[in-house]
Structure formats: C-alpha cells, structure tokens
C-alpha cells in the first residue's frame, strides 16, 4: 500500500513504528517519486521504511502474540533449569557421597597422598590422579578405602620404601 502523496521531506506524518510497535508521529526522511519511502520516529529516533498506521486490534493482537512468545520462551528456560536441577539429584551415588563428605573439608589442609604414610578415617587427602578425597575406612595396617569424586578406591599405606633405590 502506498503512502499518501503531497508530502515533503521533514513533514510530520502518522505511521506505525516497527521498533516501538505503536502508531506514532514521525518526520518524512525520504521520498520515492511522490510517495513516502522512509520515516524517522520522533519517539525512538529510528529511521525505517514507512508503514501506514495499524488498527488498534492489529496492534493489540501483535503485542499479545509477542507477550505469549516471551512467556513460552521463559517457561521453556524454567523447564530447562528444573531439568538441570533434577540431573544434579540424579548424580551417581559416589559423587553425591563425595560431595557430602567433603562439604566442610578445606583443600588447603589436605595431605598429599604418599603410600609410605599412615592415614586415619575422615582424613582429607590430595591424590595426584584422582584429586581431593577423603579416607572412608582403614581396611588393615597396609591399606585404606578412599572416596574421590568419580570413584571409591583402595589405596596402600605404610608401604616401606624399597631398599637399594
């Protein structure tokens, strides 16, 4: 649909602003032959292709469609967040137990694991391959069970250093 004729550059015109999504006043910016080609919105200062005013029903229905799209997008984001929370609850038992056991542990005071040293239950250790762990149970004089984020492993302790090395 062509814009009304008899306009000059700088004249005031009523149009539908695509950026503001409202029927507003603007200034004619460019003409194509005798018809208006571009308009500058007085509200948002954007220059855009001329669109004639829309009826109130059209504007309202467009705004409602946009509101519903936003609502649906946000509800999808909430669903995704709930799904992520559910995934945390479904962590493997070992990881959940490790988190509970190391919740109050301070990694700065963890001892580096050494097979020659002795360990006691509840002690926090730092293993070179498995990271932060906690001694769950002493199995016997030469071994204990350690809980790490991904695994529960038996580790040796009180191992005498081999002679001649």
Buried/exposed code over 43-53 (b: 16+ C-beta within 10 A; e: otherwise): eeeeebebeee
Residue 30 near residue 9, CB atoms below 8 Å: yes
The per-residue pLDDT for range 120-140, each reduced to its tens digit, is 999 999 999 989 999 998 988
- Quote helix, strand, coil % in the chain, to nearest 5: 30, 35, 40
Strands of the sheet containing 47-49, edge to edge, are 12-17, 22-32, 35-41, 47-49
> pLDDT digit string (tens) for 72-87?
888 787 776 666 554 5
**Which positions ≥6 away from 5 have C-beta within 8 Å?**
34, 35
Contact 4, 14 (CB under 8 A): no
pLDDT value at 119 more than 60: yes
**This prediction's pTM:** 0.43
Residue 148 CA, chain-centre distance (Å), reads: 27
Q: Please report the pLDDT score of residue 89 as a whole number.
A: 53
pLDDT attached to residue 1:
46
Residue 59 has pLDDT above 70, yes or no: yes
**Per-residue confidence band for 88, with pLDDT thresholds at 50, 70 and 90:** very low
């Amino acid at each position: 649909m062509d814009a009304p004729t008899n306009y000059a550059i700088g004249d005031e015109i009523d149009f539908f602003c695509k950026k503001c999504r409202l029927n507003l006043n603007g200034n004619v910016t460019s003409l194509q032959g005798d018809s208006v080609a571009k308009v500058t919105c007085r509200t948002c200062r954007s220059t855009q292709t001329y669109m004639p005013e829309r009826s109130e029903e059209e504007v309202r229905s467009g705004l409602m469609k946009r509101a519903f799209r936003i609502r649906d997008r946000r509800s999808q984001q909430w669903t995704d967040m709930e799904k992520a929370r559910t995934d945390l609850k479904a962590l493997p038992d070992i990881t959940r137990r490790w988190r509970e056991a190391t919740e109050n542990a301070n990694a700065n005071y963890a001892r580096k694991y050494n097979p020659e040293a002795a360990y006691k239950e509840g002690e926090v250790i730092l293993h070179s391959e498995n990271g932060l762990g906690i001694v769950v149970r002493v199995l016997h004089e030469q071994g204990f069970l350690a809980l790490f984020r991904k695994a529960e492993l038996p580790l040796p302790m009180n191992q005498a250093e081999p002679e001649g090395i």
